[in-house]
Amino acid sequence: MRSGSPFLARAPEGALRHCKTLLAAALLATACAAPGAVQGTAGTHCAPRADKLVELGHPFDAETIYWPTESTGFRLTPLHHGLTPAGFFYAANAYAAPEHGGTHLDAPIHFAVGKATTDAIPLARLIAPAVVIEMVEQAGRDRDALLSAQDIERFEQVHGALPAGVIVLVRTDWSARWPDKLAYLGSARAGDASDLHFPGISADAARMLVARRVGAVGIDTASIDHGPSRDFWAHRILMEANIPAFENLAQLDKLPARGALLLALPMNIRGGSGGPLRAVAILP
């Protein structure tokens, strides 16, 4: 089925889910059939080739960037590291962190009362085909640049209409500044979020994404709203429509405009407003 097909725009929800399932299966089959794919001993199981997998997040450590008003960051406390009295090696840690920092999920409840918590987000919104809309040039000219509705329309003119359920990733290449807080956030002042500067998504673009019925939205900056925002319209518009967001993504430059399959699985926090995220793309 071709991308941007009128069928995808008009099909009932069940058919859309079926199309997404077929696309996911096709992507996995392509990876498995390619030379060098990892095959099971009976030839019935396979895994995507290593060069078809792309890590889309930053690791969590002492340098992980959190919103400036957070009083704590990521903490890893060793509990044991070494030989046990029985003579074998054993390692274990305790960790603590705010929900919103590093590469993470914003659940709809984060900005919309009564909407989905982290554990209630349907998996179909977290595992789906992805498109990458680029705004690298705009971000290079203006660190407070906003993705516009016109940017989305220009993408669709070249790459076809956004099908319902797709995950839209906004590429600014801001992740190259990680983990330098001043370069990444525009300010390194702890406890002060009044002078932040980084790209984001405009209210008009957010409304268009809701109208397109996308499954989720992600960006390689600290927030889907740009740094100077005080009203957080992108968050409010998308999350009122139960659309989750992924923030502080990385390596979006390694994905094609269309054709990748995204797996964005957060820690499954019951009642959570977000959580640490490991996002991986399978290339076509």
Strands of the chain (E only): list them. Answer: 38-39, 46-47, 53-55, 75-83, 89-96, 104-106, 127-134, 146-147, 167-171, 200-201, 216-219, 245-247, 258-266, 274-282
Distance CA 174, CA 268 (A): 27
Do the beta carbons of residue 93 and residue 129 sit within 8 Å?
A: no
Distance separating the N- and C-terminal Cα atoms of the chain: 15
Pairing of strands 245-247, 216-219: parallel
H-only helix segments in 2-135: 6-10, 13-33
Please, which residues have CB within 8 angstroms of residue 59's CB and are 6 or more apart in sequence?
A: none
- Which of 104, 110, 226, 235 is catalytic? The answer is 110
Q: Which tokens is 43 given?
A: 């030839």
The single-letter code of the amino acid at 237 is I
Task: Identify whether 104 is a catalytic site residue.
Answer: no
**What's 35's DSSP letter?**
T
How many other C-beta atoms lie within 10 A of the C-beta of residue 47? 14
Do the beta carbons of residue 162 and residue 217 sit within 8 Å?
A: no
- Residues annotated as catalytic are 110
